[in-house]
């Protein structure tokens, strides 16, 4: 009886494993041509302390030839899925995002996200059949998110706090590759990690471009890859800077240092002793938010805790002296398929009181049109003097108005909506992840700790 490392039929397991990987790559390329560059981005190498699995560090795919041979004999589909599983980890840049996260939960979240993509790709070469435990877990996740991303699944696992036995069951059903080579914090050169991350980001962007143009119609299931790649390629946004775009120029009582000439001021003091030639201007022009509409989607798909978190963050940002005037005209509307509540905010105290007593109203299907019709009615009644914009907090799934309103409209989403959701071209779409929202809140919390009881608000 031969050992694992000995030659079989003139070939060693290392050589056989390499041929299996080549065969898997070729078959995947024929079915998923939009992944051509990504499929060839890893070099093959046996060993690398890998046993009974595959592993990658983002540059090389390490494999156990005997494990691949056994898997290939059982089903060619298994080796195809394993190969693409590793490639998708790299494309979605799961390796570098592991820092600062609970390793076990992050590994499981990444595996579950990647396997959900593979399960949606309707190709015979990837079809392993239905696995009930996988379907059950994905169903639980989809009740909280539209696109199954590793980040979203990770937050889901943190909230559930599963007992060790249930966690081990999920790990066993989703486990495919070894994540031991994913660089933990401090164990990989920062420049090397940055280069590697940029490499896979470039590959993901090329794939996204291909999917959004001619290649998206060449294969069933390409939409699933595109949804995940879009999320991975999405750039972080600064919600504070975004809100300031709705401000309008106003004169405020303050010294304008930019318009004041200190030369003439000091020259007068030198010449006459105590009489400057010019005085500092008593007013300056700043951009402030006065007329503003915040609409909240209160359909069944929107969480009350998340809405409250969004409003708390928006409140803190508007509270900053650079953005908020003493007297404002802010309308906070709650709407599902009709406007359920309209709250008028005139000053900071009213906004603070509203935040402390906020309650979500509604729970039906989503229709965005009533809000725009209602705002148009308010404008006709003279309720606004200079309305610059409306921010709509929603999941993005609903009926949109066809005509562009006479003000900027931004739809703030906590996750990328499915490709089936078609937003109108005039809509500003801002995908603000829960961690980004939490970051914006923390940055403003330091400045305004006395204005709101932050500990009473829900944590994401």
Q: What is the mean pLDDT of residues 24-42?
A: 88
Indicate the pLDDT class of residue 102, thresholds 50, 70 and 90: confident
42 touches 28 (CB < 8 A):
no
pLDDT per residue over 42-88, tens digit each?
999 987 666 668 999 888 999 988 889 988 999 899 999 999 999 99
| Chain centroid offset of residue 224 CA | 16
Strand order of the sheet with strand 54-56?
43-46, 60-63, 54-56
Through-space distance between the first and last CA atoms of the chain, rounded to whole angstroms = 57
- The span from the CA of 247 to the CA of 73, in Å, is 65
Higher per-residue confidence, 259 vs 289: 289
The structural domains of the chain, with segments of one domain joined by +, span 13-233, 239-250+288-456
| Exposed / middle / buried, residue 56 (Cβ in 10 Å: 0-12, 13-18, 19+) | buried
pLDDT for 459 equals: 44
Judge whether residue 452 has pLDDT over 50. no
pLDDT for 53 equals: 81
Percent of the chain clearing pLDDT 70 (strictly above): 67
Higher per-residue confidence, 55 vs 280: 55
Q: Residue 357 phi/psi, 5° resolution?
A: -120, 25
- The span from the CA of 54 to the CA of 62, in Å, is 6
Judge whether residue 304 has pLDDT over 70. no
* Torsion-angle region of 382 (φ positive above 0: left; ψ -120 to 50: alpha; else: beta): left
Contacts of 205-211 with CB under 8 Å at 24 or more apart are: 205/233, 206/37, 207/34, 207/35, 207/37, 207/38, 207/91, 208/233, 210/34, 211/34
3-state SS, 271-338, equals: HHCCCCCCCCCCEEEEEEEEEEEEEEECCCCCCHHHHHHHHHHHHHHHHCCCCEEEEEEEEEEEECCC
| Exposed / middle / buried, residue 319 (Cβ in 10 Å: 0-12, 13-18, 19+) | middle
pTM above 0.85, yes or no: no
Q: Where are the alpha helices (DSSP H) in 213-288?
A: 222-233, 239-243, 262-272
Q: What is the mean pLDDT of residues 291-314?
A: 74
Question: Residue 323 has which token pair?
Answer: 């953005």
233 touches 200 (CB < 8 A):
no
Higher per-residue confidence, 411 vs 299: 411
285 touches 259 (CB < 8 A):
no
Partners of residue 253 on adjacent β-strands: 283
Indicate the pLDDT class of residue 264, thresholds 50, 70 and 90: low
pLDDT per residue over 124-137, tens digit each?
888 888 889 999 99
**CATH number for region 239-250+288-456:** 3.40.50.410
pLDDT per residue over 317-370, tens digit each?
666 655 555 567 888 898 888 898 898 888 777 877 777 777 777 777 788 999
Residues 241, 243, 249, 252, CA torsion sign = negative
């Amino acid at each position: 009886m031969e050992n694992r490392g000995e030659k079989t039929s003139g070939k060693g397991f290392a050589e056989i494993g390499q041929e299996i990987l080549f065969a898997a790559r070729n078959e995947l390329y024929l079915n998923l041509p939009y992944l051509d560059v990504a499929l060839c981005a890893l070099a093959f190498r046996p060993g690398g302390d890998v046993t009974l699995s595959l592993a990658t560090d983002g540059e090389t795919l390490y494999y156990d030839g005997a494990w691949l041979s056994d898997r290939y004999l059982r089903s060619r589909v298994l080796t195809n899925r394993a190969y693409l599983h590793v490639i998708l980890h790299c494309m979605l840049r799961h390796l570098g995002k592991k820092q600062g996260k609970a390793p076990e939960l992050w590994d499981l979240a990444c595996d579950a996200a990647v396997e959900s993509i593979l399960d949606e790709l309707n190709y015979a070469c990837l079809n392993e059949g239905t696995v009930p435990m996988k379907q059950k877990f994905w169903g639980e996740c989809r009740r909280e998110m539209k696109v199954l991303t590793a980040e979203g699944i990770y937050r889901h696992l943190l909230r559930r706090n599963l007992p060790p036995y249930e966690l081990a069951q999920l790990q066993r059903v989703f486990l495919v590759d070894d994540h031991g080579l994913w660089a933990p914090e401090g164990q990989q050169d920062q420049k090397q990690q940055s280069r590697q991350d940029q490499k896979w980001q470039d590959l993901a962007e090329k794939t996204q471009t291909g999917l959004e143009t001619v290649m998206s119609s060449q294969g069933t299931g390409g939409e699933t890859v595109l949804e995940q790649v879009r999320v991975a390629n999405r750039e972080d946004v600064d919600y504070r800077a975004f809100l300031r775009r709705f401000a309008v120029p106003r004169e405020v009582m303050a010294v304008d240092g930019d318009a004041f000439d200190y030369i003439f001021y000091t020259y007068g003091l030198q010449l006459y002793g105590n009489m400057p030639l010019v005085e500092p201007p008593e007013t300056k022009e700043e951009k402030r938010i006065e007329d503003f509409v915040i609409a909240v989607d209160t359909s069944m798909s929107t969480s009350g805790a998340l809405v409250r978190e969004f409003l708390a963050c928006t409140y803190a940002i508007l509270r900053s002296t650079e953005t908020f005037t003493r007297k404002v005209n802010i309308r906070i509307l709650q709407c599902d398929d009709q406007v359920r509540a309209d709250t008028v905010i005139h000053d900071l105290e009213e906004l603070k009181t509203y935040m402390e007593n906020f309650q979500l109203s509604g729970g039906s299907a989503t229709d965005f049109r009533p809000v725009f019709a209602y705002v148009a009615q308010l404008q006709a009644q003279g309720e606004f003097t200079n309305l610059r914009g409306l921010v709509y907090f929603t999941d993005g799934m609903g009926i949109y108005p066809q005509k562009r309103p006479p003000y900027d409209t931004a739809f703030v989403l906590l996750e990328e909506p499915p490709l089936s959701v078609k937003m109108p071209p005039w809509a500003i779409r801002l995908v603000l992840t829960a961690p980004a929202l939490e970051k914006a809140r923390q940055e403003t919390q330091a400045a305004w700790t006395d204005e709101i009881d932050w500990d009473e608000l829900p944590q994401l």
